[in-house]
Amino acid sequence: MGFETGDDAAVYRISDDAALVLTVDFFPPIVDDPFDYGSISAANALSDVYAVGGRPVSALNVTGFPRDLPKEVLGRVLAGGMEKASEAGCPVVGGHTVNDREPKYGLAVTGIVEPGKQVTNAAARPGDRLVLTKPIGTGVVTTAHRDGVVRADVLSAAVDSMKSLNKGASEAMVSAGANAATDVTGFGLLGHLHSMLKASGASAWVSRRAVPVLPGALELLEAGIAPGGTYRNVESLDGRVSWDASLTESDRLLLCDPQTSGGMLISIPEAKLDALLHELSNNRTLCAEVVGEVTKGDAGRISVTP
């Protein structure tokens, strides 16, 4: 798997029974606590390996840090990342740091998967059900945090979600036999679904009320708080999404809200749906909601219902 379908990671076969999974991701702080920031960024980077059904086996730190800030802050960032990588069973074996005006942190991750068992975003089929494993709204909540207008409990729920690994969701989808998957990150739920459908040559519908939402996120949207990326995501889907007339502007923004360390969006045949939901429950994923269905039609087209 390379560039062709825009999958979450590259997969490179090295033998008949082993293939490498390769990815890198990093970004500036979105929360104040350095340890939480490191944990979130590491979980986000590891997610790309999980999205293709792989198992992360090693990681390298990728770090930019202002030389005039206390090194103890950087130590806390790296400690957060190492703890999360350890939870994934993925040792951090080194890395590289450069002087930068703005802190940045993430991981270059190497994983492994058996050739032929990798999960692509390009194999969704009409009739598949779409299952989401984390609530959305992290972009809205972290923007409200930056602006100093978010309640502590709302921020805490978002941080807990972002720090949660997609390990259990990945293992569940592989066990159940999913056709396709992607993790939901910067392009928002509908943006990543559009990419999956375009690569798969299919359409889909999504039910707004079925999509799980972080506590407080919709209220913040209705108060006029949203990151700039949300509006860009809505614009990028112009002409590709049909919105039911009853849906509000807040509904549109929510479904296009850029996520950090979001959940898995899994496309699975209806006959295997119960097995997937059972595995997701056993693995204690944050949620396991059926949010829509893949259909025949123009590649990449999405209809959103109430």
pLDDT tens digits, 96-125? 999 999 999 999 999 999 999 999 999 999
Q: Which spans in 94-226 are helix H?
A: 138-146, 152-163, 167-176, 188-200, 217-222
Residues 6+ apart with CB under 8 A from 245: none
pTM: 0.95
pLDDT tens, residue by residue, 51-83: 999 999 999 999 999 999 999 999 999 999 999
Report residue 37 as tokens.
């920031």
- Can you tell me the distance from the alpha carbon of 66 to that of 70, in angstroms, rounded to the nearest whole number? 9
CA distance 174 to 52: 9
Contact 27, 104 (CB under 8 A): yes
CA gap 225, 141 in Å, rounded: 9
Indicate the fold that domain 10-113 takes in CATH: 60s Ribosomal Protein L30; Chain: A; (3.30.1330)
- What secondary structure letter does DSSP report for 103? -
Query: Could you state, in order of their start, the residue ranges of all structural domains in the chain?
Result: 10-113, 129-305
What single letter denotes the amino acid at residue 202?
A: A
Q: Which residues of the chain have pLDDT under 70?
A: none
Q: What pLDDT does 1 receive?
A: 81
**What fold does the segment set 129-305 form as a domain?**
Phosphoribosyl-aminoimidazole Synthetase; Chain A, domain 2 (3.90.650)
Note whether 65 and 100 are within 8 A (CB).
yes
